[in-house]
Amino acid sequence: MSYKVDITIIGAGVIGLAIAAQVGSEDREVYVLEKNETFGQEISSRHSEIIHAGIYYPEGSLKARMCVIGNRILYELCERYGIGHRKLGKLIVATSDEESGELQALLEQGQRNGAQGLRMLSKPEIKELEPNITGVAAISSPSTGIIDSHALMKHFVASARGKGVQIVYQTKVVGMEKVANGYELSVEDSTGTFSFTTRLLVNCAGLQSDNVAELAGIDIAKAGYQLHYCKGEYFSVGRGKSTLVKRLIYPVPSASFTGLGIHVTLDLGGRMRLGPSVQYVDSIDYTVDSQHKSLFYDSARRFLPFLGYDDLEPEMAGIRPKLQEPGGDFRDFVIRDESDKGLPGFVNLIGIESPGLTAAPAIAEYVGSLVKEQLGK
Ligand SMILES: Cc1cc2nc3c(=O)[nH]c(=O)nc-3n(C[C@H](O)[C@H](O)[C@H](O)COP(=O)(O)OP(=O)(O)OC[C@H]3O[C@@H](n4cnc5c(N)ncnc54)[C@H](O)[C@@H]3O)c2cc1C
């Protein structure tokens, strides 16, 4: 039996697009199906746009490995294709002796992970680099930076199309069934519902990736694939304060590690914002609650003494697709071919939260190798 479609990728966020650019090739029929009007309308357009270094994640985890490799590849892509970016560097700042003790363990973990150029700074060294912040010690991470993530996605779209990949918008995958040597997909677009057969299927459906896995008959509770939505709000910092720091400034993360702590980000236009916060929610709602302003102010004021309450304005929010339950342990990315569940050639990517943007090109290479194994070419 010959297949019209070799590979179908569900979702045109940064992950699906990076994979499309990786697996596209003249001798393969590859489709990306996206339910929205265009690419990158969900998680991939509501985040901090930071190229992370790979400090926080447990050694050997996919998050650590993919982040460190992705960091290197992203800078190479940015240089080669003129994608907007700045290697600003970042400081993780301790404001008490207790936090200072935690920094050492974090530094060692980052070094074991292979994050580049990390070093501990003393109080005078912090003052020299960032005279306007307060800290007793800090980790300097020179390979952390910022990127124009829309331009990155545009690059992946162009690269994928250049290799013959078809990206189809306003097309939602609503069903799938295992058939001999592949999957029959049911798809809904403005004209109705139709189906076709694909040999391989790559689930990059972001916030809906657990539901998409379920469509294939996977018991997501048993597999540990159930997602928990976790909202991150941002507040902009106005009134001319944006120029008072030159780097990204982070606090020491909490032990539960649900996020990196409310931190200072700068965008390519030099605008400063605080965020993201961490709030488990039941549904997708991007409004920012202005009553959360004092939480942002109190968190950031510890290391940003120049911050005034009136400098902060609600800006935007994103939703993390978390596998980690509230109060639960660290969970890694799920990136796997489901042959052991009787679904060979069905590759699931679930729980691709931060550092997913940084890791995207490394994840794409990894999925590319899984695809090669399945296709045998
Ligand atoms: C608040 C926040 C801050 C972050 N900050 C950073 C950061 O600074 N640095 C970093 O490296 N990472 C960061 N991340 C993580 C990063 O943004 C994500 O890992 C990445 O964007 C995930 O991309 P994705 O393609 O998996 O998901 P998405 O961009 O959501 O794409 C999934 C796509 O699948 C589509 N889809 C879903 N179901 C279907 C279906 N049935 N049929 C067809 N299409 C479907 C959706 O419409 C969507 O477009 C952050 C995340 C958040 C939430």
Ligand 1: centre distance to CA 122 (Å): 37
Task: For ligand 1, atom 9, name the residue with the nearest CA.
Answer: 50
355: Cβ below 6 Å to ligand 1? Answer: yes
Cα separation, 90 vs 243, whole angstroms: 15
Q: Where are the alpha helices (DSSP H) in the chain?
A: 14-23, 62-81, 97-113, 123-129, 149-162, 209-215, 220-223, 293-301, 356-375
Task: For ligand 1, atom 52, name the residue with the nearest CA.
Answer: 47
**CB of 119 within 8 A of CB of 232?**
no
Task: Give the per-residue pLDDT at 181.
Answer: 87
- Render each residue's pLDDT in the chain as its tens digit; 377 residues: 445 799 999 999 999 999 999 999 989 999 999 999 999 999 999 999 999 999 999 999 999 999 999 999 999 999 999 999 999 999 999 999 889 989 999 999 999 999 999 999 999 999 999 999 999 999 999 999 999 999 999 999 999 999 999 999 999 999 999 999 899 999 999 999 999 999 999 999 999 999 999 999 999 999 999 999 999 999 999 988 999 999 999 999 876 556 678 899 999 999 999 999 999 999 999 999 999 999 999 999 999 999 999 999 999 999 999 999 998 999 999 999 999 999 999 999 999 999 999 999 999 999 999 999 988 76
Cα separations (Å) of 9 from 171, 212, 284, 341, 345? Answer: 12, 12, 23, 19, 12
275: Cβ below 6 Å to ligand 1? Answer: no
Q: What is the DSSP string of 302-321?
A: TT-TT--GGGEEEEEEEEEE
Task: For ligand 1, atom 2, name the residue with the nearest CA.
Answer: 47
173: Cβ below 6 Å to ligand 1? Answer: yes
Task: For ligand 1, atom 17, name the residue with the nearest CA.
Answer: 44
Looking up tokens 């931060």 gives: 354
In a mutational test of the pocket of ligand 1, which residue from 22, 44, 194 has the highest number of ligand atoms less than 8 Å from its CB? 44
Index of the ligand 1 atom closest to the CA of residue 48: 8
Task: For ligand 1, atom 33, name the residue with the nearest CA.
Answer: 11
201: Cβ below 6 Å to ligand 1? Answer: no
Ligand 1: centre distance to CA 47 (Å): 9
Ligand 1: centre distance to CA 156 (Å): 15
331: Cβ below 6 Å to ligand 1? Answer: no
23: Cβ below 6 Å to ligand 1? Answer: no
318: Cβ below 6 Å to ligand 1? Answer: yes
Index of the ligand 1 atom closest to the CA of residue 49: 8
Cα separation, 185 vs 203, whole angstroms: 12
Ligand 1: centre distance to CA 171 (Å): 17
Shortest CA distance to 18 belongs to which of 48, 51, 46, 40?
40
Task: For ligand 1, atom 26, name the residue with the nearest CA.
Answer: 206
Index of the ligand 1 atom closest to the CA of residue 204: 26
Task: Give the per-residue pLDDT at 257.
Answer: 57
206: Cβ below 6 Å to ligand 1? Answer: yes
In terms of phi and psi (left: phi > 0; alpha: psi -120 to 50; beta: otherwise), the region of 91 is beta
